Amino acid sequence: MKRIFISDLHLEDHQAPAFLRFKECLEKESRTVDEIYILGDLVEMWIGDDDDSVMAEKLRCVMTSSATNCKLFILHGNRDFLFGQQFCHAASAQLLSDPHLTSDGLLLSHGDVLCTDDEAYQAMRKLLRSETWQADILSKSLAERKLFGQGLREQSKNSNANKSTNIMDVNAGAVEILLQEHNSRVLIHGHTHRPGVHVEDNYTRIVTGAWEKCGWLCRQVGDELKLECFSLARRYGT
């Protein structure tokens, strides 16, 4: 099995380096791997599947093109939790529940649900993921949702600026419980923007990085898993 796992691209401009590298990455990797997993926060903000922006259309085209070569999967992040079946169908991607256990025992998550020390965030997450709240926000016009999304993003930035870095990382106990519940020894997640490979006594935790100063992915070839980074300033694969 050959796979790649990416997360936290926070795409918001189809002309920006991160989007161009995403397009090139999917074009290249889809021809050589069996599956591509996007573990949340593909975009900086998603206001609904009826988004008619150029960025949204470019995103659908890139994903649809790549899905003709390999299977494409996506998990919700804390920025794009409004991705729905309409978008996934148009993008030829399969929306997975979080967490997701692969056929060979890898446990996949965006990772935010594991940040249990941040109680305020978990309360907000519960509200934003509820069917009632989502139905209410999606009933509003695109213009209203854009303004709301911008406000929510600013609120998140201001809130995080006043929190300690440790409170926004995953809780080790929560990680162990989740792995035990799913009988897995390998967890791959994003969200924290702290890329790394953490080898513990009874499990391995791989954190995919945010596409900020560079791009990140976790590559699987058979039983081997490797974290890779690459420049966002030049064409992918060069």
Per-residue pLDDT reduced to its tens digit, 170-210: 999 999 999 999 999 999 999 999 999 999 999 999 999 99
Cα(197)–Cα(228) distance, rounded to whole angstroms? 11
For the domain with range 2-231, which CATH number is right: 3.40.630.10, 3.30.430.20, 3.60.21.10, 3.30.1520.10? 3.60.21.10
Task: Give me the residue spans of the domains in the chain.
Answer: 2-231
80 token code pair: 């794009």
Q: Sorting pLDDT into bands at 50, 70 and 90, what band is 166?
A: confident
Q: Of 75, 91, 74, 72, nearest to 33 (Cα)?
A: 72
User: Confidence band (pLDDT; 50, 70, 90) for 8?
Assistant: very high
* Strand blocks (E) in 45-183: 71-74, 94-95, 100-101, 106-109
Question: How many Cβ atoms are within 10 Å of 235's Cβ, its own excluded?
Answer: 11
pLDDT in tens, 209-230: 999 999 999 999 999 999 999 9
The predicted-structure confidence for 118-148, as pLDDT tens digits, reads as follows 999 999 999 999 999 999 999 999 999 999 8
pLDDT tens-digit profile of 11-69?
Answer: 999 999 999 999 999 999 999 999 999 999 999 999 999 999 999 999 999 999 999 99
Task: Compare 45 and 154 and report the one with higher pLDDT.
Answer: 45
Exposure class string for 113-136: b at 16+ Cβ within 10 A, else e: bbbbbbeebeebbeeeeeeeebee
